[in-house]
Structure 1
Amino acid sequence: MVAIALQSVLPDQLAVRPQWLLPALSVLLLVALVILGPGAASTHHRHARKVSLALVAVVSAGNVLSAARLIRGIVAGTVGDQAAALLSAGAAIYLTNIVVFSLWYWEFDRGGPAARAAGTSPHPDLLFPQMTSPDLAPPDWEPAYVDYLYLSFTNATAFSPTDVMPLKTWAKLTMLVQSAVSLVLVTLVVARAVNILH
């Protein structure tokens, strides 16, 4: 819901047109996920999994298009003549990027939330500190969504892993893409905003 809200406040030139399309599609998918029930997401309900992945993909696609338009506009000089508007648009895309990648990590680590709950995949894709030091966590500790959100935030701000290590190729490549997108966004938006302020 946070990512949908952030996408809906983007300026017209950065939003996917028509501007209501992606937020409306995201809301429809979210409603479908809620109708399937919160229990469906935590069990092996294949329709809930498909809807959940579709929702993340739609929000991701919208954010990628908005980021590409922002970057192209900054490079071409057609976007960013007001520092406050540029910084708020850049922040909305950056924060959406954090939320979207946290959802990808949440959905794919050890097969997703249902597979993690069932314990069907014993080998982790992402190594959390509690896994290496079991004495620091309860015996049945499993990462919650906030753990993936923290991973996404630290990866986007440090441009590298901090305390959570990627073990599988998909995790390494996903973290690489997130760091690259964050680096380009931060560099271009801040550089352009500083240029405007001077």
Structure 2
Amino acid sequence: MNKPTKVSPPSTRHTRRWPASLAVVSVLVLQLLVPPQINALPRWLMPVLGGLLLLPLVYMNPFHLRRDEPWLRPVEVVLVAVLVAVNAYYLAGMIFFLNNGDANEAKVLVKSALLIWVTNVVSFAVWYWEIDRGGPFARAPEHEREAERADLLFPQMTVDLPGWKGWLPGFTDYLYVAFTNATAFSPTDTLPLTARTKVLMGIQSAISLLTIAIIAARAVNVL
């Protein structure tokens, strides 16, 4: 008599959301440290605005991506776009300060450059995480959504090695892509495949280049 086939229970694995949320919260807290010399707006404005956009995302999926709602992705994209736009505003304010203010205030220059650079890395890391292959819900195997074509070519996707079959990138992988792009001003081990990703990487590199080449270089001369 044949034994009945044992059916494995369905997988309860869910893609983690909290690393991306924690990164955004960290950037919002940093906005409270923006020097008034480069920011004419109230310091609380950006943390409050970003917090209002982040709140529904965390409420729907506090730790893992379990509830897939159509409106979640547009809210996420708007949040990241606001972070990038405000960061560009800080960069413009920093350049204006260099040309019209007291450019010998080294602490202001270093503090502003560091804040702009960190915000640049985190904001674009979340953006890459959100758009690659249609977003984290489309990439997650536990959700019944068809993933779009890949926007980024990770090296793990090109090798045939034991233990890497079915590999999927997490937020840390996108954070590393954003970090290396902001440091080298170009892709390193992960290549952009689509036009939208190339545009985003170009914008991120431009912000990073201006921050380091113009602002940080001036700060070093002052010191």
* TM-score over 0.5 for the pair: yes
Instruction: Give yes or no for the alignment of 1:157 onto 2:180.
Output: no
After superposition, residues 6-25 of structure 1 pair within 5 angstroms as 6-15=30-39, 17-25=41-49
What CA distance in whole angstroms lies between the structure 2 residues aligned with 1:60 and 1:37?
Answer: 23
What CA distance in whole angstroms lies between the structure 2 residues aligned with 1:141 and 1:194?
Answer: 43
Query: Which one of the candidate residues 122, 130, 143 is aligned to 1:99?
Result: 122
Instruction: Give yes or no for the alignment of 1:58 onto 2:78.
Output: no
Bigger Rg over Cα: 2
What CA distance in whole angstroms lies between the structure 1 residues aligned with 2:118 and 2:162?
Answer: 30
Change over 3 Å in CA distance of 1:182–1:29 after alignment to 2: same
What CA distance in whole angstroms lies between the structure 1 residues aligned with 2:220 and 2:197?
Answer: 34
User: C-alpha root-mean-square deviation of aligned residues, in Å?
Assistant: 1.9
Question: What letter matches 2:209 in structure 1?
Answer: L
Instruction: Give yes or no for the alignment of 1:27 onto 2:39.
Output: no
Instruction: Give yes or no for the alignment of 1:44 onto 2:68.
Output: yes
What CA distance in whole angstroms lies between the structure 2 residues aligned with 1:8 and 1:134?
Answer: 46
Contact 1:154–1:161 (CA under 8 A) maintained in structure 2: yes
Question: What letter matches 1:171 in structure 2?
Answer: T
Q: TM-score, normalised by structure 2?
A: 0.81
Shift of 1:64: 1.3
Structure 1, unaligned runs of 5 or more: none
What CA distance in whole angstroms lies between the structure 2 residues aligned with 1:120 and 1:5?
Answer: 36
Q: TM-score, normalised by structure 1?
A: 0.90
Contact 1:130–1:137 (CA under 8 A) maintained in structure 2: no
Query: Which one of the candidate residues 149, 174, 197 is aligned to 2:200?
Result: 174
Contact 1:7–1:15 (CA under 8 A) maintained in structure 2: no
Higher share in helix: 1
What CA distance in whole angstroms lies between the structure 2 residues aligned with 1:181 and 1:43?
Answer: 34
Match of 1:192 in 2: 218
